[in-house]
Amino acid sequence: MGQFQYRARTLDDRMVQDGLCAVAALEEFPETRDKVMVVGGIAT
Amino acid sequence: MPSSCRRATSDIDLAVVEPLSYSRFNRFASPIADWLQAHGYSARFEKAHATNRLVYGAEGETMVIEFPRKSERNFAKKAKNLEREFEHSRKKLVEERGATYRVVSPEDIAAPKLARCTTYLELDDSLCRYIEGVKPSPLSDAEVRCMLDEIEYLRARADLFPDDKLLATKTRFLSDIFDVRLLSESAGFNERYFERAIRSWDNIVKHPASARLLLNYLLPATRVDVLEGNSLVTHDTKSA
């Protein structure tokens, strides 16, 4: 992963929240609206 | 779930209600990459073993958004379950940000974890020691912290010894039983729907003894069962 570092994070982490906001951007487009659900560990 | 009880993870996993080849994924996920780049992150697409990934990062730190990669044929096998999961999903707000995202129900988060644990238990019954130690009454904050510490310890060791498959299995197993237990206590399960969800997973239905063992330890008060005919849950004709 080159210069980047993976780190375990929780739902209140800024980087996770930005990721979820980015996922929410899919709802703005007809071809991707209502197509995606968050699953797995972060959803708990 | 309160922050203190949350298990840390290094990715955001998504389910998608259409088949996604890698090329389709590149187009499908481009609004996510655009949003991230507009907010100061680098973003790139990657083809992983069984998934498509959008890797984003800033200031030397990285996070992954993971998409399933499914052919039309493989998607068709899962389509019915995905439709059911979507029907029971809910929208959640990103705290203090105004954006909303869709998340599967607690029952549909727990069911695949239970299915995976059933498989692990079939392969290695020494894992029983982790569920036998789980007490039936609600977990105290100290007990939650203790489980989280053990998961973090195992995870750190698994990172150090990536070829140790047994260690990886133990880490995943303990993480999954923690998630199921905490979800049942914090969010609660609709028993009718939970029963329906767990019965949609082949490895639960194929290994009822291991699945029941897990259910008994993790959800001691539950009336659900793996197989039809043994349930104490009332089902009407319009099942949950």
pLDDT in tens, A1-44: 344 456 677 777 889 999 999 999 999 999 999 999 999 766 66
List all residues of chain B from 89 to 128 with a beta carbon under 8 Å from chain A.
89, 92, 94-95, 97, 99-104, 108-109, 112
Residue of chain A with shortest Cα separation from B112:
A40
Q: What single-letter DSSP state applies at residue B131? A: H
Q: Does A6 reach chain B within 8 Å, measured CB to CB?
A: yes
The Cα of A2 is separated from the nearest Cα of chain B by a number of Å equal to: 9
Share of chain B above pLDDT 70, in %: 91
| CB-CB neighbors (< 8 A) of A41 in chain B | 7, 9, 11, 13, 175, 179
pLDDT of residue B194: 93
Q: Judge whether residue B96 has pLDDT over 90.
A: no
Of A18, A23, A35, the CB nearest to B17: A35
Average pLDDT of every residue of chain B: 87
Full DSSP string of B189-202: --HHHHHHHHTT-H
Q: What single-letter DSSP state applies at residue B137? A: S
Residue of chain B with shortest Cα separation from A41:
B9
Domain ranges of chain B: 3-103, 106-218
The total number of residues shown for chain A amounts to: 44
pLDDT in tens, B17-74: 999 989 999 999 999 999 999 999 999 999 998 899 999 999 888 999 999 988 889 8
Full DSSP string of B51-116: EEEEEEEETTEEEEEEEE---HHHHHHHHHHHHHHHHT-EEEEPTTT--EEEE--HHHHHHHHHHH
Of A31, A37, A41, the CB nearest to B14: A37
List all residues of chain B from 179 to 238 with a beta carbon under 8 Å from chain A.
179, 182-183
Q: Judge whether residue B147 has pLDDT over 60.
A: yes
pLDDT in tens, B164-223: 988 999 999 998 988 888 888 888 889 999 999 999 999 999 999 999 989 888 887 778
pLDDT of residue B32: 97
More confident: A8 or B227: B227
| CB-CB neighbors (< 8 A) of A16 in chain B | 12, 63
Q: Judge whether residue B12 has pLDDT over 80.
A: yes
More confident: B65 or B224: B65
Q: Can you tell me the distance from the alpha carbon of B240 to that of B50, in angstroms, rounded to the nearest whole number?
A: 31
The Cα of A33 is separated from the nearest Cα of chain B by a number of Å equal to: 10
Confidence category of residue B5, pLDDT binned at 50, 70, 90: low
pLDDT of residue B195: 92
Q: Does A36 reach chain B within 8 Å, measured CB to CB?
A: yes
Of A9, A17, A25, the CB nearest to B35: A25
Q: Does A9 reach chain B within 8 Å, measured CB to CB?
A: yes
Q: Can you tell me the distance from the alpha carbon of B152 to that of B146, in angstroms, rounded to the nearest whole number?
A: 10
pLDDT of residue B222: 78
Torsion sign over Cα B156, A17, B109, B201: negative
Phi, psi (5° rounding) for residue B191? Answer: -60, -40
Q: Which residues contact B193 (CB under 8 A, 6 or more apart)?
A: B88, B105, B107, B239, B240
Q: Does B16 reach chain A within 8 Å, measured CB to CB?
A: yes
pLDDT of residue A5: 56
pLDDT of residue B27: 95
Q: Can you tell me the distance from the alpha carbon of B28 to that of B24, in angstroms, rounded to the nearest whole number?
A: 6
